[in-house]
Amino acid sequence: MTNGTKGNTRHQEMVQQADQAVEALFPQAGREKFRLGYHFMPRAGWMNDPNGLIHFQGEYHLFYQHHPYSGMNGPMHWGHAKSGDLIHWEHLPVALAPSEAWELAEQGGMGCWSGSAVDHDGTLTLIYTAHADGRKPEEVQCLAESTDGVVFLKHPRPVIAGAPEEGIAGFRDPKVWRHGEMWYMVLGSGKAGRGRILLYQSHNLLDWEYKGVPVESDGSEGDMWECPDLFPLGDKHVLILSPMNMAQSKNWYMIGSMDYEAGIFTPESKGRLDWGPDFYAAQSFPDHRGRRLVMGWMDRWGSRMSLQDRSWYGAMTLPRELRLTEKGELVFLPVAEAEGLRGQERRWDSRVLEDGAAWIAAGEDGQGFEWMGEFCFPDTEAGELEIAMLQTEESGEETLLRYESEPRRLVLDTCKAGIGDADISTAELPLSRGGRLRLRVYVDRSSIEVFVNDGEQVMTSRVYPSRLAGSLRFTSKGGSVSLESLSVWTLEAIWP
Ligand code: FRU
């Protein structure tokens, strides 16, 4: 079906050019001060959405939106990496470069946009959106295949040549999966101010039949739904979205049921996937161990740091495992493999954090770490616990995590975190937990991920402090708090 035509020769030339560009930028990008220790990031150049996440022939593959020519957003390629354990990644050649008329690279088009991957009887198949600003149609769905998992041949024509109707906002980010004997695809779109998904069906991945709109926004959930992902979890289906212009959140999920016959998804509950500012375009995939895994772009469009060219930009979150609890709630936990990064553990005995007094758990500077703490708050006392991380006396920098009891919530405050964006993010905490709070926090050179109470909530943020300080400072205010346990592990760097 795909062949070694002229088109694919041109494509391979553009892939080579892109790889050379990354190579040329790497000496500079690789030395940059905010490079991460144990998160996935490109060797050099820009990165946004995770694409085509798949476990294929014994390895995990991660593709990503990539502009290899600078640390700024530009015509999109698909970067590529693989891993045996979801934690240590090996960079591979660029998988897709914009080379076709509908990707319009020569004329300033925006290239190969987001999409997904499937294993088609042993062929690794990528389905993605080609986008060209102002062209009609602006967005079409394309396909490329590989038998060795490294070199991809493009299908000679788009497999969906245009949107099913006029006047819709966006037609992109195909997520494809198999159900029964058929392939299904959801695409992100919107109409009349309401985000929506579009459903297609195919028996061969090439001929697609439009099945309609399974679900759309209730009016408060954004006007265009980017990167939709609909998948089974337990006896439910979950829909993950990246809504544009939703007041409340930049990520959203719905748990409900999918009627494949009718092509209708009926949501039963909804919520946020992540309560921090830097979690976008999340994509999920099933693995061979029966897990449903999710990675998100650990960044946002328009951030301060995205507006300066530092030869590279963009990181992925740690892979998270998604589970549905017996109560039907979603929880997110770092994959078990992340524990393999742990080096030496420092542990503190339980203690009372007295009202007003600061207590410091001294740590090692310059290395990424994970800490886990369990706290008990006496119900009778209103109060606050402030946890300061990444602090530097001289500069006054600090990243604050604050537990507030009335109303009960967790606040991540990056206003003094460094040269990145100043944000105050709030996660509402469920009320009845017997005054207990468990935190598991990953700190890397320029990121922080907070997992609350076994993954009930997650808060993710990029932070850009002048140095990676390892100590933690705990201050209880308006009452005492009991610290039941605290462990800190330094985490091994995955990059040489
Ligand atoms: C989401 C997104 C997608 C699009 C891609 C372009 O961040 O805007 O909708 O396909 O990024 O890079």
What's the CA gap between 28 and 310, in Å, rounded?
8
Confidence tier at 101 by pLDDT (50, 70, 90): confident
pLDDT (average), residues 356-367 = 94
Q: What pLDDT is recorded for position 433?
A: 60
Looking at residue 16, what DSSP letter applies? H
Q: Given ligand 1 and candidates 65, 198, 250, which is best to mutate, with the most ligand atoms within 8 Å of its CB?
A: 65
pLDDT (average), residues 465-491 = 95
Residue 451 CA to ligand 1 center (angstroms) comes to 26
Q: In 152-300, which ranges are E strands?
A: 153-154, 172-179, 182-191, 194-202, 209-212, 224-233, 236-244, 252-259, 264-271, 280-286, 292-297
Phi, psi dihedrals of residue 12, rounded to the nearest 5°: -60, -35
Q: CA Rg, the chain, in Å? A: 23
Q: End-to-end alpha-carbon separation of the chain, Å?
A: 40
Determine which residue's CA is closest to atom 8 belonging to ligand 1: 226
Looking at residue 495, what DSSP letter applies? -
Residue 438 CA to ligand 1 center (angstroms) comes to 34
- Is 155 in contact with 206 (CB distance < 8 Å)? yes
pLDDT tens readout for residues 165-224:
999 999 999 999 999 999 999 999 999 999 999 999 999 999 999 999 999 999 999 999
- 283 CB under 6 A from ligand 1? no
Confidence tier at 434 by pLDDT (50, 70, 90): low
pLDDT (average), residues 340-350 = 97
What residue type is 59 in one-letter code?
E
Query: CA–CA distance from 385 to each of 2, 195, 410, 460, 483 (Å)?
Result: 59, 39, 10, 19, 11
DSSP string, 410-461: EEEE-TTSSSS---EEEEEPPS-STTEEEEEEEEETTEEEEEETTTTEEEEE
- Is the model's pLDDT at 326 over the cut of 80? yes
pLDDT (average), residues 218-243 = 98
Lowest mean pLDDT, pick from 171-175, 320-324, 379-383 = 379-383
pLDDT tens readout for residues 108-142:
568 999 999 999 999 999 999 999 887 888 999 99
Residue 49 CA to ligand 1 center (angstroms) comes to 7
196 CB-contact burial (10 Å; exposed 0-12 / middle 13-18 / buried 19+): buried
What's the CA gap between 260 and 266, in Å, rounded?
11
- 249 CB under 6 A from ligand 1? no
Atom of ligand 1 nearest to the CA of 131: 10
- Is 468 in contact with 390 (CB distance < 8 Å)? yes
Q: What percent of the chain has pLDDT over 70?
A: 96
pLDDT (average), residues 401-424 = 95
What's the CA gap between 307 and 303, in Å, rounded?
7
Q: What pLDDT is recorded for position 408?
A: 87
Count of helices and strands (H, E) across the chain: 1, 34
Query: CA–CA distance from 115 to each of 65, 108, 118, 174, 208 (Å)?
Result: 9, 21, 10, 5, 16
Residues 64, 494, 398: CA angle, nearest 5 degrees: 90
Alpha-carbon torsion, ordered 167, 300, 307, 86, to 10 deg: -120
Residue 132 CA to ligand 1 center (angstroms) comes to 13
Q: Which residues of 256-269 are buried (b: 16+ CB within 10 A; e: fewer)?
A: bebebeebbbeeee
What is the torsional sign of CA 182, 142, 128, 145?
A: positive
- 226 CB under 6 A from ligand 1? yes
Known catalytic membership, residue 259: no
- Is the model's pLDDT at 105 over the cut of 70? no
- Is the model's pLDDT at 47 over the cut of 60? yes
Q: What pLDDT is recorded for position 435?
A: 81
Q: What percent of the chain has pLDDT over 90?
A: 89
Lowest mean pLDDT, pick from 97-111, 275-289, 389-403, 434-448 = 97-111
* Closest C-alpha among 171, 186, 175 to residue 132: 171
Confidence tier at 406 by pLDDT (50, 70, 90): confident
Q: Which of 19, 49, 423, 444 is catalytic?
A: 49
Q: Which residues does 87 contact at the CB level (< 8 Å), separation at least 6? A: 38, 318, 319, 335, 337, 338, 340, 341, 494
- Is the model's pLDDT at 233 over the cut of 60? yes
Confidence tier at 380 by pLDDT (50, 70, 90): low
